[in-house]
Structure 1
Amino acid sequence: MGNPFSKNGIATKIVEAVPGGGLITAPIHALKGNPDHANRAALGALGSLTASIFGGGLGTVGTILAATTNAGREKILDELKVTPEKKKTITASMKSGNFDKAAEILMEHGKHKISENARQLSAESGGRRCLKSIHGTYLRAYNSEWKVDMTNGPPKAWENWYVEDWQGKVVFKAIHSPGRFLRAYPNGHVDLVDRPQAWEIWKPFKNEDGSWSFLSAHGQWLSVRSDGSVCTMEKCDAWEHFWLERW
């Protein structure tokens, strides 16, 4: 039957169909490494516990827990790797009918897991890397112009990048000196700039096939077109997958 809590699992679809359901499935997506869902459900819906509380999300999650079977609740707690102590507290709250309290503990735990997962991914993706696309081309930074494109392999000097770990996020620094950093615009344009600020920061996600996808500060994914151009796109599909090769 497969995993019911995967990005296309039946449990995920049912919960996400409920208004605010992304709040409860968000940590599951983050742990499973489903980048598109992690962006929309986890990082968007669960980015702030305070925002969820004042936005009515907490009550919605409590309602979902109240309507879920005991087996379903256990599955959620297991998927989130809730510690025995927290599980005991959450279970006791639900047994007493205090589902909002149980939801608050669960959301706080999920928020921590998302942050922890992000730090692990940024550390794993960091280092001296070449970015290879699904087309077999490599991300290239120009030295005399502030632009990037894709070029055929094998990778040469201009295809070498330093992926800097920024504790849950990454910055792409080209090999050229002085520094040149990969920048994303809100309109999907991608180029280089001489110093990293907000638009040069990316969130890394690891895909099931071993590739990586990178989310810009504007909520769009680093993408490669078949003509060798580089941009960002709203959805994360095959052209938004990259393989990180060491150099």
Structure 2
Amino acid sequence: MGNPFSKRGIITKIVEAVPGGGLITSPIHALAGNPREAAQAAIGGLTSATSAIAGAAATGGIGVTATMLGILTNAAREALIDELKVTPEKKKTITANMKSGNYNKAAEILLNDGSEKLAANSRQLSAESGGQRCLKTEHDTYLRAYDSEWKVDQANGPPKAWENWYVEDWKGKVVFKAIHSPGRFLRAHPNGVVDLVDRPQAWEIWTPFKNDDDSWSFLSVHGQWLSAQGDGKVCTMEKCLSSERFWLERW
């Protein structure tokens, strides 16, 4: 699923379909360079409209969303609300507010609904990714946790004991616990370093996202993605590309 704010994204398409809409697409195209929340929602398997609403919330909140609703045709608004799959009761309230010109209230309802969907989606993904797992990379290697050092790197397959992890479901987030005892947990530093620590706190919490090819990507609390580099290094990166995808195998 692509970025909804890109030149081919749903929001840009809708806006450009409006007479004179080209005058306001420049800021939307500008958002395409860094729509982190929108990208996260899209990679999480939600509809592009939900992704767009999440991106609007991240970049400008109710005001941006209200402006977007205000310039759309009635048909475009209807299409957007239908894709968001809000309940009939919410749809009725949103439509009534838009008809009366209260786009801020309509935007508030849409944003709240989108936030609820994102939260539910995160809980589902964390549960699905949890359990006894090996993390396979695009290089056919596996994430390895050391026993005598606070170190993590990659090992060639097939996976052995040090490549076994417990992926703990934290209700929308996950924590990676190595097989070693006492416990060792995967930690992300703000500077991109990834290592191990003896107890899970904020830096050890990751948000899971499932990709279209059944691989998984994991976002740190610092807004960077768990990455397995071609040289065997494990770190975090700003962008979610092929090295930031992992296949979860049971052990």
Q: TM-score range by the shorter chain?
A: 0.7 to 0.9
Query: Where in structure 2 are the equivalents of 1:88-237 lying within 5 Å?
Result: 88-237=92-241
Instruction: Give CA deviations for 1:51-70 in whole Å, capped at 9, x if unaligned.
Output: x8xxx632221111010122
**Sequence identity, in percent?**
65
Q: In structure 1, give the amino acid aligned to 2:82.
A: D
CA-atom RMSD in angstroms: 3.2
Q: How far 1:72 moved relative to its partner?
A: 1.9
Q: Distance in 1 between matches of 2:114 and 2:181?
A: 41
Kindly indicate whether the alpha-carbon contact (under 8 Å) linking 2:173 and 2:208 is maintained by their aligned counterparts in 1: yes
Alpha carbons of 1:79 and 1:13: their partners in 2 closer, same or farther (altered >3 Å)? Answer: same
TM-score by length of 1: 0.84
Q: How far 1:9 moved relative to its partner?
A: 3.5
Q: How many residues align?
A: 235
Q: In structure 2, give the amino acid aligned to 1:10.
A: G
Alpha carbons of 1:43 and 1:95: their partners in 2 closer, same or farther (altered >3 Å)? Answer: closer
Kindly indicate whether the alpha-carbon contact (under 8 Å) linking 1:26 and 1:41 is maintained by their aligned counterparts in 2: no
Alpha carbons of 1:80 and 1:171: their partners in 2 closer, same or farther (altered >3 Å)? Answer: same
Q: In structure 2, give the amino acid aligned to 1:239.
A: S
TM-score by length of 2: 0.83
Instruction: Give CA deviations for 1:83-127 in whole Å, capped at 9, x if unaligned.
Output: 111001101111111111111111111111111111111111111
Q: Which residue of 2 aligns with 1:59?
A: 63
Q: Which residue of 1 aligns with 2:9?
A: 10
- For structure 1, the residue ranges without an aligned partner over 5 or more in a row are none
Q: How far 1:77 moved relative to its partner?
A: 1.5
Q: Distance in 2 between matches of 1:4 and 1:184?
A: 26
Q: How far 1:46 moved relative to its partner?
A: 3.7
Q: Distance in 1 between matches of 2:7 and 2:157?
A: 35
Q: How far 1:175 moved relative to its partner?
A: 0.4
DSSP-derived class of the 1:203 partner: strand
Q: How far 1:10 moved relative to its partner?
A: 3.2
Query: Where in structure 2 are the equivalents of 1:42-81 lying within 5 Å?
Result: 46=57, 57-81=61-85
Q: Distance in 1 between matches of 2:235 and 2:2?
A: 33
Q: Distance in 2 between matches of 1:87 and 1:182?
A: 43
Q: Distance in 1 between matches of 2:54 and 2:181?
A: 34
Q: How far 1:31 moved relative to its partner?
A: 5.9
The structure 1 segments of at least 4 consecutive aligned residues displaced by more than 3 Å after TM superposition are 2-10, 12-22, 25-29, 40-47
DSSP-derived class of the 1:187 partner: coil
Q: Distance in 2 between matches of 1:73 and 1:90?
A: 10
DSSP-derived class of the 2:171 partner: coil
Q: Distance in 2 between matches of 1:120 and 1:63?
A: 32
Kindly indicate whether the alpha-carbon contact (under 8 Å) linking 2:40 and 2:209 is maintained by their aligned counterparts in 1: no
Q: How far 1:5 moved relative to its partner?
A: 5.0
DSSP-derived class of the 2:89 partner: helix
Q: Which residue of 1 aligns with 2:41?
A: 30
Tell me whether 1:240 sits opposite 2:239 in the alignment: no
